[in-house]
Structure 1
């Protein structure tokens, strides 16, 4: 958003934002609070904190009737409606879309044609992913630990893929930015793990491919995901867009996580270890 729309953007995790003592209250600053359910306790508390200080606040949730949206100065509907499953996929994708569209609106940029291209590409990505999954299902089903890595803007996509695999299948997962992945984590790598390396032309491409080659040759099960491939085990995202490519990459991982969960007999409409709510309050 900073690069394409020319806006200054700061990102805070809710627990970090909660510790900030002196919020900037300038009228040219907008605080955006994102919660699909609109009931995330810490996000709500942060919104109230900013509101009391007179900050401009905007919420992005699944409904204008949620506690968070009702307290914010402005509201944008995430557009995900009520998802069928507990573990969200549409909500993440729509959050990406809404944030990009908001950036375009505030900067008077118009890249909607790029968004339409991505939307048109997703059906093929889903079909290709299902075929890829059947070809690699045996190795995926044998393992329950996965590492994800990507450089720069691919790192947040890796993190979301990590969460989906942990929530849905569930796997034990861990994500590292590519540079960090090279220093220390390799000490634990072995053939009982699965490795997903995200790659995109122009985003530390050579380093990403080199890491994938090392993992394939020296360790074991590694899959390169993106618009560069080494062998038939990799997944090629054809016609990778310059903007909104996050939706193309995460689509692959959402489908694979769903298929693995289904083949392992996981009911995605039922939560696991839900008794945690007796000890910790996550929602209002």
Structure 2
């Protein structure tokens, strides 16, 4: 099996994996019975952090649950135990389930008496065993270290976790839960369509993308986390220098480094951000002479790329699928072997995981 077939198959199988995870949604209400914490703190890093950031906007606006996100190393070494709050639900995300700092952090919160929830690829991992409540994310041992299914399935599993907590607390009704659930199910149709769009768009822009020396991603609202995840994916997979910003922040200090060897992506989901993106896009094309592309949820006849989705709450996952496909195509055409780390010898210098016995 070639690299292209195998990684494309992973991405193409994401809709089926999401549906399978959704069909087991009863597990969440069962395990989270009696969990009525008022707020949520999610500890995660890398792609897992971005998945947590993806669900934050929805959870706060639609479920009424405040969400804080922290990195494992920062939380472990800088958390003031006197600020421990029993009304906080502590959620730990580690796709591999063996991240050393995450495991140590769970043990710290357990010792304080906190309610700990883990999301991992397998319930047999040390982190899943250490948490008081554990869920599998459903990515079924993803074969690539550069996570695509892992991101999407982590986000969906977080949605299901927090929907169950909101239902348990009475923040939403059962009919409202069902509406959100059905909206997630609808992604099974949206995702294959955006995969086709991504391949078609890439073929048209292949040459200019391959000539870029750096790529910038900027997003507003629930698409800011997607800009961050696209940033990581392109950086580690291609590899290429990347950076990401909230949509307005990119035009402040960062614009001083812009040049015509760069490429820019703007992700917008409302009229206000769209107007900003159009202005910045025009500046980049006319004054900098660089490649720029706006992706929008609004159907348009302009040069903006319309990302179609019937979901008003979960369309961010559709946007990320677009970048998963484009990132993969660009990495493959750049000659990158995605089955290997760029520097596998780094494991001789630092080990971030615990041994699985």
- Identify whether the pair has TM-score above 0.5, normalized to the shorter chain: yes
Task: Name stretches of at least 5 consecutive residues in structure 1 with no aligned partner.
Answer: none
Q: From 67, 72, 75, give the equivalent of 1:9.
A: 67
Give the structure 2 partner of residue 279 of structure 1: 349
Shift of 1:247: 0.7
The normalised TM-score by structure 2 is 0.76
Q: CA contact under 8 A between 1:226 and 1:249: conserved in structure 2?
A: no
Give the counterpart of 1:70 among 117, 125, 129.
Answer: 129
Native 8 Å contact 2:227 2:244 kept in 1: yes
Cα deviation, residue 217, structure 1: 2.5
Note the C-alpha offset of 1:15.
Answer: 2.5
Give secondary structure in 2 for the equivalent of 1:57: strand
TM-score, scaled relative to structure 1: 0.94
| Pairing partner for 2:157 from 98, 122, 131 | 98
Aligned length: 283
Q: Distance in 1 between matches of 2:99 and 2:257?
A: 35
Inter-partner Cα distance in structure 2 for 1:24 and 1:154? 31
Shift of 1:13: 1.7
CA drift at 1:275:
1.4
Q: C-alpha displacement at 1:227, in angstroms?
A: 2.0
* Cα RMSD after superposing both structures: 1.7
For 2:183 and 2:335, the matched residues in 1 are separated by 38
Moved more, 56-65 or 41-50: 41-50
Q: Write out per-residue CA displacement over residues 40-69 of structure 1, whole angstroms, 9 at most, x where no aligned residue.
A: 122111111111111110000000011100
Aligned to 1:176: 245
Provide the rounded CA distance (Å) in 2 between the counterparts of 1:142 and 1:103.
42
Match of 1:258 among 322, 328, 339: 328
Q: Which residue of 1 aligns with 2:276?
A: 207
**What SS does structure 2 have at the residue aligned with 1:84?**
coil
Question: How far is 1:95 from its partner?
Answer: 1.1
Which position in structure 1 is the counterpart of 2:39? none
Between structures 1 and 2, the one with greater helix share: 2
Q: How far did 1:16 drift?
A: 2.4
C-alpha change, 1:52 and 1:145, in structure 2 (3 Å) is: same
Counterpart position of 1:143: 212
- Mapped to 2, the partners of 1:203 and 1:15 lie a distance apart of 36
What CA deviation, in whole Å up to 9, does each residue of 1:229-249 have, x standing for no partner? 5744x4210235211112111
Q: State the alpha-carbon separation in 2 of the partners of residues 235 and 217 from structure 1.
A: 19
Deviation at 1:100, TM superposition (A): 1.2
- Checking the alignment, whether the CA contact within 8 Å between 2:146 and 2:237 is kept in structure 1 is yes
The 1:44/1:23 distance shift into structure 2, 3 A limit, reads: farther
Identify which of 124, 134, 143 aligns with 2:203. Answer: 134
Which blocks of at least 5 consecutive residues in structure 2 are unaligned? 1-58
CA contact (8 A) 1:147 1:173 kept: yes
